[in-house]
């Protein structure tokens, strides 16, 4: 029968050998551990650079506010049109709720009707904008600054359920161009989904005149989420503008000009730079 002492003596990496190892051996082992950690850090930094997650992306993202005069000539009239009409939707719904609480249901519903008409206009503009961004995305010459949508900022269960799949896909896609394409697709689907939900609730109240508190709450929540979608769409618009060359700006301006041509608060987008 083999004794415990003989096993300890024959085992090269036993507890006894570790306790009584010379200081030089401990130093070598620690240096080997540090070398392994440094190798892991270097590999991580290289992968971060290859995947476009390093300082280059942060630097480009910090420059998204610096639009040239040519880029501003495209962005400003479009953003004014969208922000103005989105504000009309929010203000009209807020006033409608106040009129309802004050005991003026007819005036309140007329304000809801105004919001519904403006909503359709904004939905058309946002859809056309996102289609134009998708069309001009292949012309981008740089890493596109990307910011994901924060699901917790949305209030409707419809949007939270819809964006769960977006969150999953965002985690498994690393290339900035593909992630930006996913964002455009998601925003377009979100705008269409919220428009359909708002229209369904509005048409029910218009047809039946049954307008319980739950109906008003849904209108308010959908309006909040739609406002977020319009803001995210404008930020995506601005991010792509930074990455487009001058010749592509002319093409994008031509794509967007018919969208604003029907507007009454903005001038047409200039096509010459």
Q: What is the pLDDT of residues 89-143, one digit of tens each?
A: 999 999 999 999 999 999 999 999 999 999 999 999 999 999 999 999 998 887 7
Task: State the pLDDT at residue 39.
Answer: 63
> Quick one: CA torsion of 226, 228, 231, 236, rounded to 10 degrees?
-100
Distance CA 154, CA 251 (A): 34
- What does each C-alpha distance from 24 to 13, 18, 34, 215 come to in angstroms? 16, 12, 15, 77
Helix (H/G/I), strand (E/B), else coil: 209:
coil
Q: In this structure, are residues 246 and 80 in contact, taking their beta carbons and an 8 Å threshold?
A: no
Task: State the pLDDT at residue 41.
Answer: 55
Distance CA 172, CA 168 (A): 7
Q: What letter would DSSP give residue 244?
A: S
Cα–Cα nearest to 5, from 16, 18, 13 = 16
Retrieve residue 126's tokens. 């946002």
- What does each C-alpha distance from 253 to 135, 172, 187, 247, 269 come to in angstroms? 12, 33, 21, 10, 6
Retrieve residue 201's tokens. 């609730």
Helix (H/G/I), strand (E/B), else coil: 271:
coil
**C-alpha dihedral sign at 131, 141, 229, 83:** negative
148 backbone φψ class: left, alpha, beta (φ>0; ψ -120 to 50): beta
- Which segments in the chain show pLDDT lower than 70? 1-65, 146-148, 167-174, 262-273
How far, rounded to the nearest angstrom, does the alpha carbon of residue 37 sit from its chain's CA centroid?
Answer: 35
């Amino acid at each position: 029968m083999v004794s415990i002492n003989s096993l300890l003596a024959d085992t090269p990496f036993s507890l006894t050998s570790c306790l009584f190892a010379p200081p030089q051996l401990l130093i070598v082992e620690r240096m080997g551990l540090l070398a392994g950690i440094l190798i892991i850090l270097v590999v991580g930094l290289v992968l971060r650079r290859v995947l476009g997650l390093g300082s280059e992306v942060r630097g480009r993202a910090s420059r998204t506010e610096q639009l040239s005069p040519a880029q501003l000539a495209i962005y400003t009239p479009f953003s004014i049109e969208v922000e103005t009409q989105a504000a009309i939707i929010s203000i009209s719904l807020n006033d409608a709720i106040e009129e309802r609480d004050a005991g003026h249901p007819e005036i309140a519903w007329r304000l809801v009707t105004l919001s519904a008409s403006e909503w359709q206009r904004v939905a058309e503009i946002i859809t056309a904008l996102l289609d134009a961004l998708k069309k001009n995305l292949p012309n981008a010459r740089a890493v596109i600054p990307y910011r994901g949508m924060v699901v917790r900022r949305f209030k409707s269960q419809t949007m939270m359920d819809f964006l769960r799949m977006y969150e999953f896909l965002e985690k498994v896609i690393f290339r900035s161009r593909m992630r930006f394409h996913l964002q455009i697709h998601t925003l377009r689907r979100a705008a269409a989904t919220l428009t359909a939900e708002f229209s369904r609730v509005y048409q029910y109240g218009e047809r039946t005149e049954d307008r319980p508190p739950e109906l008003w709450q849904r209108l308010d929540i959908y309006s909040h989420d739609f406002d977020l979608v319009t803001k995210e769409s404008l930020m995506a618009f601005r991010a792509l503008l930074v990455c487009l060359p001058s010749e592509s700006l002319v093409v994008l301006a031509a794509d967007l000009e018919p969208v604003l041509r029907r507007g009454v608060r903005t001038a047409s987008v200039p096509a010459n730079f």
